[in-house]
Amino acid sequence: MKNIFITPDDPLDQDDAIPITPPASHADCMVCGGGRSLGLRFIPDGLGSVVATIDVDGAWQGYAGVMHGGMVSTLLDAAMTHCLFHHEVHAMTASLKVRFLAPVPCSGQIEVRATLSDRRHRMYSLDAQLVSSGRILARAEARFIKSSNGLMPSTMKQHGHLG
């Protein structure tokens, strides 16, 4: 499977922004971690938003020529997670609502972006969009919850907070 994503060596349209670095607790993420991940990298894009441009891989197909809905959801969720990283927040998805507006082709480039829309105590609300040729193909709304001590479950065990 080819991975053609924004990397630190690629020219960036957003004032040569540096990609957002996920925390160590996120190093094995299937989307943006090392190893066999998709290698997805997000960059800041004005007013606290993040964006990534992706060359779509045919292996992500569901129906013929159309990206699988699970992959669409995964990309939108990843964008929102990285938006929180950009805001120095480590939180987990509590709810995710995806709206599929048009089939996402399994070829060409797509852009995925996310914006933090609200924060109330430990809950964060975000919006994301998947865009191709200027057309919104899918959008998502999600709520994320930050742990009470700021650590994510995988790091909580390492720090002795779980049994």
Instruction: State the Cα–Cα distance between residues 28 and 18, nearest whole angstrom.
Output: 21
Question: What band does 39 get if pLDDT is binned at 50, 70 and 90?
Answer: confident
Contact indicator for 50, 82 with CB cutoff of 8 Å? yes
Q: What was the pLDDT predicted at 3? A: 31
Residue 42 has pLDDT above 50, yes or no: yes
Residue 135 has pLDDT above 50, yes or no: yes
Residue 117 has pLDDT above 90, yes or no: yes
Mean pLDDT over all residues of the chain? 80
Q: What is the CA angle 57-60-64, rounded to 5? A: 100
Question: What band does 149 get if pLDDT is binned at 50, 70 and 90?
Answer: low
Question: What band does 108 get if pLDDT is binned at 50, 70 and 90?
Answer: very high
Question: What band does 47 get if pLDDT is binned at 50, 70 and 90?
Answer: confident
- Region 33-55: mean pLDDT is 83
* Domain residue extents for the chain: 24-158
Class of domain 24-158: alpha beta
Residue 36 has pLDDT above 90, yes or no: no
Q: What was the pLDDT predicted at 38? A: 76
- Region 10-35: mean pLDDT is 67
pTM for the structure as a whole? 0.80
Nearest to 34 by CA among 46, 42, 26: 26
